[in-house]
Amino acid sequence: MVLAKYEQVQLFQDDQLVLSDLNLEIEEGQFIYVLGEVGCGKTSLLKSIYGELPIASGEATVLETDMTRMKQRKLPKLRRQLGIVFQDFQLLRDRTVDENLDFVLRATGWKKKIDRERRIIEVLEQVGLPDKTRHLPHELSGGEQQRVCIARAILNNPKLLLADEPTANLDAENGRKVMELLNGIRLQGTTVVMTTHNEQWPKDFPGIIWRCKDGKVLIENG
């Protein structure tokens, strides 16, 4: 099943052409690495998928949504079907782990408190942090914060998880833990699209490689 498809897409950032002639497909169950140097357009590509960066021209569909005609008011509906993991975590600093997760569940339509509590326990167990519910973000290590971010991203069982440099701010051990976690999520059926400058990860956790270079995205395998 095709989850996203780009045909002759052009991406601009502040009137500057970032990526051109994009012809890409994202299918169910894939692990896709978006590789390239800093400033090559990796993050811009991810932002275009979750609607942060408008698509200037071409044809683009994400989870059956026409991104070229996307109205701002419809963006929350699309994002409820996506999981997004940010490099800088973006946790609410004044709320505990379970409050961070509960905030997302309430915002995405979970009405019953007992259902929210059950789901929070499930995802924290999945990421190996069942005992961290009452901790504030600053009381966690960087690796633990990133795992909370992954827990947040999978709350609504997304078909597509987007991760922007999720290991960039972590040491080698915690980076590997995050990669093992993301790979496990992919094995359970969620497609993962991850930007990184780490050339080792595709060797350790094989997937499809998209390389951003000279304003293009080259598919190296898959």
| Tens-digit pLDDT profile for residues 112-143 | 999 999 999 999 999 999 999 999 999 999 99
pTM of the predicted model as reported, rounded to 2 decimal places: 0.92
Q: What is the DSSP string of 16-28?
A: EEEEEEEEEEEET
Taking the C-alpha atoms of residue 122 and residue 32, their distance in angstroms, rounded to an integer, is: 26
The two structure tokens encoding residue 64: 């059956």
Helix (H) / strand (E) containing 161 = strand 160-164
At 222 the pLDDT is 56
Radius of gyration of the CA atoms of the chain, in A: 17
- pLDDT tens-digit series, residues 161-193: 999 999 988 899 999 999 999 999 999 999 999
Which pLDDT band, with edges at 50, 70 and 90, does 84 fall under? very high
Q: What is the DSSP string of 30-77?
A: -EEEEE--TTSSHHHHHHHHTTSS-EEEEEEEETTEEGGG--GGGHHH
Q: Is 80 a residue whose pLDDT tops 90?
A: no
Helix axes 113-126, 97-107, angle to 10 degrees: 120
Q: Which long-range contacts (CB under 8 A, 24 or more apart) does 103-107 make?
A: 104/152, 104/155, 105/155
- pLDDT tens-digit series, residues 52-79: 998 879 999 999 999 998 888 888 888 8
Q: Which residue from 185, 162, 214 is spatially nearest to 45, judged by alpha carbons?
A: 162
At 137 the pLDDT is 94
Average pLDDT, the chain: 92
Collapsed DSSP state (helix, strand, coil) of residue 209 = strand
- 41: left (phi > 0), else alpha (psi -120 to 50), else beta? left
At 72 the pLDDT is 81
Collapsed DSSP state (helix, strand, coil) of residue 154 = coil
Instruction: Report residue 57: phi and psi, to 5°.
Output: -160, 165
The two structure tokens encoding residue 144: 């633990």
DSSP 194: E
Which CATH fold would you assign to the domain 2-219? Rossmann fold (3.40.50)
Q: Is 19 a residue whose pLDDT tops 70?
A: yes
Residues comprising the chain, all counted: 222
Q: Which residue from 195, 135, 186 is spatially nearest to 163, judged by alpha carbons?
A: 195
Taking the C-alpha atoms of residue 218 and residue 209, their distance in angstroms, rounded to an integer, is: 8
